Structure 1
Amino acid sequence: MKTYSFDVTLPPECGSVEFADWLYASGGDDCTLSVHAGVPTASVHREARSLEEAIRSFAETLGRCGPHAKILSVSVDGDDLASILTAG
């Protein structure tokens, strides 16, 4: 498997230290959370067979952190991606 790196924008509710601890405990130990101008982002480095699988897997990890935890946008190397995730 390959390690894919991407950044995700998260809802404002995901910008706390408590959320970071919860995400880490839920399997998000492959990302770094930060907040810039009130907008939480996660820099993710996840092993998977494809970029889409890595993003889906991270979305599942977020889902274990509560209904407010979801991906708002994804970027790879600074380029925003069109949505490749379907509402599930």
Structure 2
Amino acid sequence: MALVITERCINCDMCEPECPNQAIALSTEIYAIDPARCTECIGHYDAPTCQSVCPITHTIIQDARWRETPDKLWEKFVQLYPNLNG
């Protein structure tokens, strides 16, 4: 699944620079994750870095609207970075 930032976000600016896919950006009130770019850091790290740097527990969660298997997340990574894979 892609991740989503909930209304618990305090706009601390910790997650945005840590996202290797540039999927996080400031929205109208809080940060938001572009589900088309979020791979949960598959292809980059063992776990989503945005979750690990967020100081507020349970602010960045799995987005039930974007159900994706690890294989689908890997395919998205390959599409985002074709030069790294071939």
Q: TM-score, normalised by structure 2?
A: 0.42
What is the TM-score with the length of structure 1 in the denominator? 0.41
